[in-house]
Amino acid sequence: MAKSSGKQSANIDRRSGDATNAKEPRDDYGRDAPLSYNKYLRVPDLIQLQICLSEPAHHDELLFITVHQTYELWFKQILHELDAAARQIEEDRVFAAVRALRRVAEIEKILVAQLHVLETMTPLNFLEFRDRLKPASGFQSMQFREIEFVSGLKDRGLLACFKEDDFALARLGARLEAPTLGELFFALLGRRGLNAPLDDPSLDETTRQQRYRHRVQAVVELLTHHERFPAEFMLAEGLIEHDELFQLWRAHHVRMVERMVGTKRGTGGSEGVNYLRTTLDQKFFPELWEARTHLSLDHAGQGCPFHPTAERRDL
């Protein structure tokens, strides 16, 4: 918190310590003034959104809020790029989708690094305001769940923790209905002549497993014959990088959480670190990972459909 000067200034917000008065509406950009940095970026609005709950405001709570709000802004940008990539894949604009995923990867690298800013807060300092946060938790990050859903990890059960939040329910409900990036990618491979049938939960388990194996095999062909499908290969690389970086974030987050609170229960009520550990192996695109296991230098001898001497076979 900003140190009190002794004289109470009307422009200092006691809760966040910033030099604004949160109670006044922000209509002071100057209605007729020319465009300026503050006016364009709505900086006066932005810097009054960090409202500390601790009383008096704990010095580190501003950092805690700033880091989380920054995450949410980056999540918004990631969703913007993933939605663009989804559209572009559907429209066969594969290089455009690759570029969108490149941007996602660069943002995700920042997201991993950003966790360490929070580690400059000591565990004891965090405890000084942690109880105020209950029952709120990162578990309830709507945009984090949206990224998971669009990337392929759809879990309808998560809607329960948004049951009193119509805004989140509408967004997550729409995401549950929309195709995932994985589905769009395999539909694209199908249009390129590879046998990559989509999953269909209404089918029996044996057929679903068989379809999964076909998709893995389609990725093996793609990775082996990348000169034949250069754009699709780059897209597969972009998708697995997104997947890998997200898993890296999970791994850094759980370490940071343990360093901060040990094995205490989470503010959201879960088992904390023990719960988070169960999420570490989740994958958006399991077929892309499994295909690596089946890659072989003897691919041509294994009935490769693209080998000049091979008879066409059903992949």
Residues of the shown chain interacting with ligand HEM in the complex, contacts defined by CB under 6 A: 67-68, 71, 118, 126, 137-139, 141, 144, 253, 257, 260-261, 266-270, 272, 275-276, 279
- Given the complex with ligand HEM, which of 268 and 286 has the nearer CB atom? 268
- Cα–Cα distance between 174 and 168 in angstroms, integer? 10
- Given the complex with ligand HEM, which of 64 and 233 has the nearer CB atom? 64
The residue to which tokens 């997947």 are assigned: 243
Which two three-digit tokens encode residue 238? 């972009």
- Report how far apart, in Å, the C-alpha atoms of 237 and of each of 148, 185, 211, 251 are: 18, 12, 22, 21
- Given the complex with ligand HEM, which of 30 and 123 has the nearer CB atom? 123
Cβ 277 to ligand HEM, closest distance in Å? 10
Cβ 71 to ligand HEM, closest distance in Å? 4
- Cα–Cα distance between 206 and 220 in angstroms, integer? 21
Which two three-digit tokens encode residue 286? 């399991």
- Given the complex with ligand HEM, which of 143 and 224 has the nearer CB atom? 143
Cβ 107 to ligand HEM, closest distance in Å? 13
- Given the complex with ligand HEM, which of 142 and 315 has the nearer CB atom? 142
Number of H helices, E strands in the chain: 12, 0
Cβ 61 to ligand HEM, closest distance in Å? 11
- Given the complex with ligand HEM, which of 92 and 271 has the nearer CB atom? 271
**Residue 174: helix, strand or coil by DSSP?**
helix
By beta carbon distance, the residue nearest ligand HEM is 266
Cβ 189 to ligand HEM, closest distance in Å? 29
Amino acid at 273: V
- Report how far apart, in Å, the C-alpha atoms of 59 and of each of 117, 119, 178, 213 are: 15, 14, 42, 54
Cβ 282 to ligand HEM, closest distance in Å? 7
| Contact assessment for residue 162 and residue 188, using Cβ atoms and an 8 Å cutoff | no
